[in-house]
Amino acid sequence: MQENKYPDHIGIIMDGNGRWATKRSLPRTMGHFEGIKAAKRVVKAATELQIPFITFYVFSTENWRRPKEEVKYLMNLLSSRLFSETDFYNRLGAKILIRGDLDKFPKDVAATMDATQEATRDNEKITVSLAVNYGGQDEIIRAVRKWAKFTEDRPCLNTETLRTFFDHPFIPPVDLIIRTGGEKRLSNFLLWDSAYAELAFFDTLWPQWGAAELKNACEDFAGRTRRFGGVLNE
């Protein structure tokens, strides 16, 4: 009998902010503002469901292609809102980690992200990883570069070794990827670690998503049979 349990690591592609705003004749940026409230609801719900790891897709390596004003707004949101929410994370016992290439960020944004990680480092109830300037392909390339730089006596490279060069290798591979907003694609999210992830798609736009939907997704996950390429023992 397989033990059916909730995922240890959930990844969330928070999609649909722009459409949420456009539908209400608001600028797309208001959708991002509203999206933060949804993210906070979901972090709280995840702690209540005792999920130990959650990763939010905040800004992809491809999102720099968006209009300058939107990118600027998102950067401002990151620097102004992230650190100011430290009390909220500390109350929940949430450790914040950034996953992605921070070199490309404006200095003030990078400093805020560092400060937030530092201020929440002792929290142990849940690890909230924020994928910013994150791309699954970029993560693999950065890991290969680090491996090549720091490995003098190069043994045969294998999957476990390469993974130790990822940003936070102690975060386990993602068990369940949720995407809101109706699209059914990964858009460069956690490509390596999603090898055996279960996938769940919701039509609901991200600003309207929340605790009830997270619980449903976890229940559905708990009912799935994962084989990891093997066969089930009867």
Catalytically active residues, by annotation:
15, 63
The least distance separating Mg ion from the CB of residue 181, rounded to whole angstroms, comes to: 6
- What is the Cα gyration radius of the chain? 18
Residue 202 binding ligand IPE, by CB under 6 A = no
Q: Which of residues 19-78 bind ligand IPE (CB under 6 A)?
A: 19, 32, 57-60, 63, 74
The contact mask relative to ligand IPE for 126-145 (x = CB under 6 A, - = no) is --------------------
The least distance separating ligand IPE from the CB of residue 161, rounded to whole angstroms, comes to: 29
In this structure, the strands spanning 198-201 and 126-134 are unpaired
Please say which residue, 60 or 165, places its beta carbon nearer to ligand IPE. Answer: 60
Q: Which of 11, 15, 53, 77 binds Mg ion (CB under 5 A)?
A: 15
The whole-angstrom separation of Cα 176 and Cα 118 is 27
Asked if 221 and 176 touch (Cβ cutoff 8 Å), the reply is yes
Sheet holding 94-99, edge to edge: 94-99, 126-134, 53-60, 9-13, 176-179, 198-201
Please say which residue, 59 or 83, places its beta carbon nearer to ligand IPE. Answer: 59
The least distance separating ligand IPE from the CB of residue 99, rounded to whole angstroms, comes to: 12
Torsion of CA 35, 128, 222, 164, to 10 degrees: 130
Select from 136-144, 182-190, 192-200, 212-220 the region that touches ligand IPE (CB under 6 A).
182-190
Helical axes 68-81 vs 107-119, angle rounded to 10°: 30
Contacting residues toward ligand IPE, per CB under 6 A: 13-19, 32, 57-60, 63, 74, 181, 183, 185, 187
